[in-house]
Amino acid sequence: MATRLCDLLTDRAEQAPRGRFLVDARGDRVVRNADLAAVARAWRAELDAHRVPPGARVLVDVDDPIAFATVHLSVIAAGRCSATVDPRAPAAAAERARRALRPALVLTDRPERDGVGVDADTGLPSSPRGGTGWRWAFGVGAPGSSALLTSGSSGTPKTVLLDERQLLHVAAAVARHHGLGPADRGFNPLPLFHINAQVVGLLASLVAGATLVLDRRFRRTEFWPLLARHDITWLNAVPAILAILAREDVPVLPPRLRFIRSASAALPTPVREVIAARTGVPVVESYGMTEAASQITATPLDAPIRDGSVGLPVDVELEVVDKGGVRCPAGVVGRVRIRGAGVIRGYADGVAAASFDEAHWLDTGDLGHRDGDGYVYLAGRADDVVNRGGELVYPREVEEVLLGEPGVADAVVVGRPHDVLGAVPVACVRSRDELDAVAEAELLARLTARCAEQLARFKRPAEIRVVGGFPLGPTGKVRRTELRRQLADELAAVSG
């Protein structure tokens, strides 16, 4: 396998120049292998003309998904560092990201943004060489790399730098684990500035010689017919998307659909069961993080489902350890740590972190356990565990009980401060239907009874409330820190 992206692009262009790599889900645009290689050459010439040094960060602030994909891959193939950001972020957030990433050059497809122009239709340079966007004080990545911002529990942004060897290592592992090949056609409605879409979607498809259909965002209207028209064989999704699809009928299925992949957050068991029953294909649950170039574990396609498991490690070392760093026996919850060819060994820009040790183990900040066969089960983030007077409440266990109630669409459990116990669990649930006061009271009564039947007393929520929605990130992941803050502020206001 090629270890440099520029070599992989050349190989694909020579072996199958007319092969379709990218397809616009709602238009007629197609990027063939030869097209991508040509765009990459054009961007190499453009970056050389701007005298952008090898490894310098080039900020990709491009809204169109086809253009974003071609520019991002071209920058890496040109031996620079592609620093990707949310193209739909408000101006203030966009400027904070630019300051944090310190790019040498900014590329954008919108005239109102400062930077070198990108043609939204072709992904090619659209402004004269020597245009705006040059930054003299800039951060350096590595030749052929990607830089992404992530936030720890403190919310302080950190820069994750992944070189092309790490990216291609994980992409190849994804392709092998899912059996991807030239006949596959993936569908990706996820934001491309996130590591999942970049590696699991773009690079895994490129490594496999497959086709990836890109949509700007998820739309439930006519979703399945769209996939059928594109002859999709696998879907790259997140729990928020699958939860919506589980509430609706499946009028038509792509005839060659092989599997559906879920990432980014825990997939509720009821949602997985409904999707699998209605589609007749396996739902692959996975676990990943930016620091590991995306995928860490995934459930096998050819093995029985194990409820609650995110599968087996894929080309990465993983262990569960106690507070002293001693490996936990099977079934015992501890901290999950990882290391391997796709895992970073530290954050960029000199940011120190206690997450790494001298043996290059990365403490993921997640809690979980492994069973006797090595399957991984996550209990939640260490910061999300509710310490109720010395008894630990793992949110996912409580959420699974709540989601077993047919009327519940989503459930999130977080800790609320308590003056005696330190914290107590509070459950926020979203109903599948509009409820009047009587129906809401009945739902709450059923949930209270359900928790009493299935949970130890200390694990039962101190309060269950029906909410209209949750604070969400770009991929649909619940911002638990913000939800905890809202509950704490509410309690402070009442106490005051």
pLDDT on residue 412: 92
Go through the domains of the chain in sequence order and give each one's CATH number: 1-384 (3.40.50.12780), 386-495 (3.30.300.30)
Checking 456-462 for CB contacts under 8 A at 24+ apart, the result is 458/388, 458/389, 458/391, 458/393, 459/391, 459/393, 459/397, 459/398, 459/425, 460/398, 460/425, 461/398, 461/413, 461/424, 461/425, 461/426, 461/427, 462/416, 462/418, 462/424, 462/425, 462/426
Burial class (CB in 10 A: 0-12, 13-18, 19+), 71: buried
Cβ burial of 273 (10 Å; 0-12, 13-18, 19+) is middle
Question: Is 133 within 8 Å of 113 (Cβ atoms)?
Answer: no
pLDDT by residue for the chain (496 residues), tens only, comes to: 678 999 999 999 999 999 999 999 999 999 999 999 999 999 999 999 888 999 999 999 999 999 999 999 999 999 999 999 999 888 888 888 888 898 999 999 887 777 888 988 888 888 654 445 545 456 677 899 999 998 543 456 789 999 999 999 999 999 999 999 999 999 999 999 999 999 999 999 999 999 999 999 999 999 999 999 999 999 999 988 998 999 889 999 999 999 999 998 888 888 899 999 999 999 999 999 999 999 999 999 999 989 999 999 999 999 999 999 999 999 999 999 999 999 999 998 777 777 898 899 999 999 999 999 999 999 888 888 898 988 889 898 899 899 999 989 889 999 988 888 888 999 999 998 889 999 999 999 999 999 999 998 999 999 999 998 888 877 778 888 888 888 878 877 766 5
Residues in the chain, total: 496
Q: Which of 186, 167, 191 is nearest to 20 (CA)?
A: 186
pLDDT attached to residue 479: 86
- The model's pTM is 0.86
